[in-house]
Amino acid sequence: MSHSDALQISLLHGWLYDPSETELSGAIGRLSYNQLQDWLIQNCSGPPETLARCALVQDFLTESAGQLTRQGIARLTEHMRENQLAVFFRNNHFAVLTKEGGVRKDCFYVCKSVQSKRTPFHFITSFYTSW
């Protein structure tokens, strides 16, 4: 049993493509963000079929450079309970994520820590599920 299972804390991310986009789904498959970057470097000077896939993958990576997509937010909204705490992975960093219900329905808050030379700095950012 992992620590996150024992503590009942989910490890989540918001970088997902829309599975209904079958061409993009086929181009990305089950590759991670870093694996896609590596694949682009190694394969984007090949035959036209590969170049078409490269363009599709590159467009998706450009549109989702912040590693948070509409599909990712939709899935977070579906799966997180109000006031649930989770570990959120984005842009190679871990943060604490919580979802508020109530007045600001489906608002997510991310608490981040930044270590400076003098003291750690904590700040909270928010994002909403409606675009």
Percent over 90 (pLDDT), the chain: 29
List the domain boundaries for the chain.
Answer: 3-12+69-128, 18-63
| 5-18 residue pLDDT tens | 666 788 999 999 99
> Degrees (nearest 5) of the Cα angle 57, 29, 126?
70
Instruction: Answer yes or no: are the C-beta atoms of 94 and 88 closer than 8 Å.
Output: yes
| 16-66 residue pLDDT tens | 999 899 999 999 999 988 899 999 999 888 788 789 899 999 999 999 988
pTM for the full predicted model: 0.74
Tell me what the mean pLDDT of segment 93-121 comes to.
70
User: Contacts by 37-43 with C-beta closer than 8 Å and gap 24+?
Assistant: 37/61
- Whole-number average pLDDT of the chain: 81
